[in-house]
Amino acid sequence: MQRNPYLPLPMKLVKNFTETEDKLIHTFTFQFLSEEDEKSFPYMPGQFAEICVFGKGEAPFGIASSPTEPGFLKFSVAKVGLVSTALHMMEEGTMVGIRGPLGNYYPLEQLKGKNIVIIGGGFAFTTLRSMITYMLKPEHRGDYGKLTVIYGARNPGLLLYKEELEEWNGRSDIDLVCTIDRPVDGWTGRVGFVPTVTKEVAPSSENSVAIICGPPVMIKFTMPELEACGFKPDQIIMSLENRMKCGIGMCGRCNVGNKYVCKDGPVFTKAELNQLPNEY
Amino acid sequence: MIIAKNALPGLLDKLVAEYEVYAPVKQGTYSLYKQICNGAEADFGYVNSKIPPKGILFPQSEKLYSYSVTGEGTNLEECIDNRKKVVFGIRPCDVKGLLLMDNVFNNDKFQDPYYLTRRANTILVGMACNNPAGTCFCTSMGSGPFDQSGLDLMLADVGEAYVVEALSQKGKDLVAELALGAADSTQKDAAARAKEAAEVTCVVNTEGLKAKLDVNFYDSIWEKFHEKCLGCAACTYSCPTCHCFDIVDEAKDCNGCRVRNWDSCMFPLFTLHGSGHNPRTSGKERMRQRIMHKFKYFVDNFNAPACVGCGRCIKNCPVNLDVREILADIRGSEARSDK
Amino acid sequence: MQKLASAIQDVAKKLLEENKVDLVVGFAGGSLPLRSTPCFIRNSEEAAKLTWDYSCENNLANYLRKREGKVAVVAKGCDVRSIVALIGENQINRDNLYIIGIPCSGMVDRLKVDEAVEGKDLLAAEEKADALVLKCKGFEKEVKLDELMHDTCKVCRYGNPVVYDMIIGDAVPARPEDNFADVAAFEALSPADRKAALAAEFSKCIRCYACRNACPMCYCTECFVDCSSPEWVKKSTDVTDNIMFQAGRVFHSAGRCADCGACDRACPMGINLRGMTRKMVKEVKDLFGHETGVSLEEKPALSTFTADDPEPFLVKE
């Protein structure tokens, strides 16, 4: 029998960073305790892990770091309940358990040779950071065509990974479009909701794949814009969220139709989702 | 082989010395599978237990591991139960339930060591049903009163004794261990006659059911099924194939354990997101999920419905919500497939 | 009983035809012998489904909270007490509820029926004057209704609905005062024996919450057992947690419980829940002289304060 999938890997919190201006999202960096531990956690962009706060509980979070960033794992967590609150208050140096990697991942093999359009909203940008970081690595960048990123948040303070965004802005091999909902003093970038900006950017669907991650309302209105640009359901990739516990497809909680979001997802193509009931 | 009824308590005592033995025990007006300390505790005057014996392999509350976090590091201790067990007198429908649950706990990507270790260390001694209840519809769900699937041994009641058949290597080994005598031809004939006579009167026609469920997710038929449902877990906890669970911490500061407990898709909190969003906001969605999971999704994934026709949900439901009626309604309906 | 059923059907049909109500909540025949099931009738053709017999055990007040439109309900005496209590808590609007009161001398206890036929399949139950003939494969047994009646019904003094828009059926005779002998027997036990008795009952609990969900008065959007911050009660079936859950529920129902027995009947494991609920009912009666839901004018006992409320918790020097 393989390793017990319920046992977490102990990891140390080395950075508890307040990511957003409203302080509701923190980014946590956890360090592997040994090289052996790191080898036991081979992950790909798109996957998630269950962060186990001893004494409080576990919760699933998308992995924001890329496997090309060795030695640690990064997660961005919004404060909504028992586990996330405990994480937000956690002192650096505290031990946690990380269970994973879980779920499937962005189909990087199938994306080779294609133009990639990444659309993210709010704090759903976590696994997208993982993928973009992975793709921008010199040894990978050549595998993919044009890389367009549209990332929107309500206001500048709520954008995640500001350091990375600045770095990407300066690069020529990625076309980054950040946008905020309403004009704010000091913001010289785009203003407009993500669906509107998508329409304006009008990415070409020729030999392209779109990856979209965000709150349900953003997805609802962005999807038609992508379709208008000619993206077919098998050219659109989404990452779903659902309430989870075991993360391994046994506790029965996270299913959408006959698929478990934790085990068969969280990454699905629109074509696959069209086969499933609209219950997520 | 044969076991005389008056020899059974002694035989169970022998087993108790070596295994954890679970057998039906009377509790007031009903029976439950409990661990017995001596053979006299077992009572085989039952049609079936109130709740299924799945709790022997998949306990309602189970410690997964304990932990303590100190200055030196984190200490995790797995709590895997590898003690040898015998479930004596399990009915064919409940064994079918275990066979179906095997698909869940050993899926295409992961294996659950807690369930699978117990499963591997458990001998299943079946008791064929001479007198199925009026609420039993096992024959409609791929099982039957004398169905041998998944059993290590099968006992058939022939009056003064049980005729025993070994069905697996584990079963053969146990028969040898117990040094059972051979059955004579009258007894074997009696067993064959009992099998003939065992009648499951309730038939649930499932023809076309899956085809309807494949297309009727958005149909208005789901408006009516849930109205009297209380949203409790009586049906799910009574079901041999229901496997949903919750995982929680029970701890004082950084010392404690991670525990899993049965949970139910019928509870509103089951799918509630941290954000407050709930994909299944009302009883309608939850009832639809229950039926869809059992009679479509499980079939999609494992080619069999997650129902063994034991009838416990029908008997235990406080408002007499009857799954057979729901299935008949769905089969007979004109399904609308548009979203 | 068949006469009552016909009368109920006629009334329901008329109410729907005349658009006096949008919905009639009543009982239909169950899928098993001697069982009924709650049903929701929205058009007059379906009114023929309504029935009435000794198996109409559920408390239909449970389905009446916060409803839109006009609703009629077929209600026994105990159901009406719950309805009155719910009206007092603003969960039901009296003006939008049409109560079809049915004087009730009691409903059978499914566990007692099961015991009477020794767990065999019941195939049919025939009504006689004061008995039921229970028919099984190969035998039948006539049992007096008294012996099959649920213990709740045996001490019920409000079989005649206290509030109604119409009554179908003859009034039922009054029963003697409830002496709470069952509660007194529990109170006579030492604390250690009480603990053992409770542990014996609640080791059977599977935390299915059928009791809570069957109770018309349990309607919190977040039940205390589901709260994780703080976690008042663990979710496992530890017997202490089982007892704490039920005790919490009983305390939350203090002064609101109509002693209808719905919880006790709903429990699939046959736990004696009335042992706890009746203790609370007795406490409320002793302390405040209050019985839940017997008058629309009376306010809930624990929601009102009078200067001469008993204060047994005060310890005087």
pLDDT in tens, C277-290: 999 999 999 999 99
pLDDT value of residue C303: 86
Q: Is A90 on the interface with B (CB under 8 A)?
A: no
pLDDT in tens, B309-332: 999 999 999 999 999 999 999 998
Residue window 15-74, chain B: list those with CB within 8 Å of chain A: 64-65, 67, 69, 73-74
Collapsing DSSP states into helix, strand and coil, what is residue A226? helix
This prediction has a pTM of 0.94
Q: How many residues does chain C have?
A: 317
Q: Do B261 and C32 touch (CB under 8 A)?
A: no
**Number of compact structural domains in chain A:** 2
Q: Which residues of A touch C229 (CB under 8 A)?
A: 81-82
Q: Is residue A258 part of a domain?
A: no
Q: What is the CATH number of the domain that holds A152?
A: 3.40.50.80
Q: Which helix (H) or strand (E) holds B154?
A: strand B153-157
Domain boundary among A102, A120, A148: A102
Q: What is the mean pLDDT of chain A?
A: 94
Do A121 and A79 reside in the same domain of the chain? no
Q: Which residues of A touch C232 (CB under 8 A)?
A: none
- List all chains that touch chain A, counting a touch as 3 or more CB pairs closer than 8 Å: B, C
pLDDT in tens, B19-63: 999 999 999 889 999 999 999 999 999 999 999 999 999 999 999
- Which parts of chain C have pLDDT scores under 50? none
Q: Is residue A62 part of a domain?
A: yes
| Nearest Cα to Cα of residue B228 among C30, A147, C135 | C30
Q: Is A59 on the interface with B (CB under 8 A)?
A: yes
Q: What is the CATH number of the domain that holds A55?
A: 2.40.30.10
The mean pLDDT of A125-132, rounded to a whole number, is 95
Spatial neighbors of C95 by CB under 8 A, at least 6 apart, are none
* Domain extent for A227: 108-239
Do A123 and A203 reside in the same domain of the chain? yes
Domain boundary among A102, A130, A152: A102
Q: Is B201 on the interface with C (CB under 8 A)?
A: no
* Amino acid identity for residue C47 in this structure: A
pLDDT value of residue C317: 56
Q: Is C306 on the interface with A (CB under 8 A)?
A: no
The mean pLDDT of B128-147, rounded to a whole number, is 96
- Kindly indicate the confidence band of residue B72, based on its pLDDT and cuts at 50, 70 and 90: confident
- Kindly indicate the confidence band of residue B74, based on its pLDDT and cuts at 50, 70 and 90: confident
- Per 3-state DSSP, what percentage of chain C is helix, strand, and coil (rounded to 5)? 40, 15, 50
pLDDT > 70 in chain A, percent: 100
Partner residue facing B60 (CB), from C37, C237, C270: C237
Q: Is B258 on the interface with A (CB under 8 A)?
A: yes
pLDDT value of residue B339: 47
Regarding predicted confidence, which is higher, A88 or B252?
Answer: A88
Q: Do C268 and B50 touch (CB under 8 A)?
A: yes
pLDDT value of residue B36: 97
Q: Number of C-alpha atoms within 13 angstroms, CB side, residue B131?
A: 13
pLDDT value of residue C298: 86
Q: Number of C-alpha atoms within 13 angstroms, CB side, residue A132?
A: 29
Q: Is residue A256 part of a domain?
A: no
Q: d(Cα C264, Cα C274) in Å, to the nearest integer?
A: 6
Q: Is B263 on the interface with A (CB under 8 A)?
A: yes
Domain map (residue ranges) of chain B: 2-197, 209-332
Q: Is residue A275 part of a domain?
A: no
Do A91 and A174 reside in the same domain of the chain? no
Residue B71 has pLDDT above 80, yes or no: no
Name residue C39's beta-bridge partners.
C26
Q: Do B248 and C119 touch (CB under 8 A)?
A: no
Q: Is residue A244 part of a domain?
A: no
- Kindly indicate the confidence band of residue A215, based on its pLDDT and cuts at 50, 70 and 90: confident
The mean pLDDT of B175-198, rounded to a whole number, is 93
Mutation for testing the B interface, residue in A9, A94, A255, A264 having most B CBs under 10 Å: A255
* 8 A C-beta contact, residue C293 and residue C162: yes
Please give the residue of chain B at the shortest CA–CA distance from A12: B73
| Nearest Cα to Cα of residue C4 among C58, C76, C64, C66 | C76
Q: Is B223 on the interface with C (CB under 8 A)?
A: no
Mutation for testing the B interface, residue in A250, A264, A275, A279 having most B CBs under 10 Å: A250
Q: d(Cα C195, Cα C102) in Å, to the nearest integer?
A: 40
Residue B167 has pLDDT above 90, yes or no: yes
Q: What does residue B156 show for φ and ψ, rounded to 5 degrees? A: -125, 125
Q: Do A253 and B270 touch (CB under 8 A)?
A: yes
Do A127 and A175 reside in the same domain of the chain? yes
Q: What does residue B54 show for φ and ψ, rounded to 5 degrees? A: -60, -25
Do A115 and A195 reside in the same domain of the chain? yes
Q: Do B228 and C40 touch (CB under 8 A)?
A: yes
Q: Which residues of A touch C228 (CB under 8 A)?
A: 81-82
Residue A133 has pLDDT above 90, yes or no: yes
- List all chains that touch chain B, counting a touch as 3 or more CB pairs closer than 8 Å: A, C
Q: What angle do CA B309, B314, B317 make, to 5 degrees?
A: 145
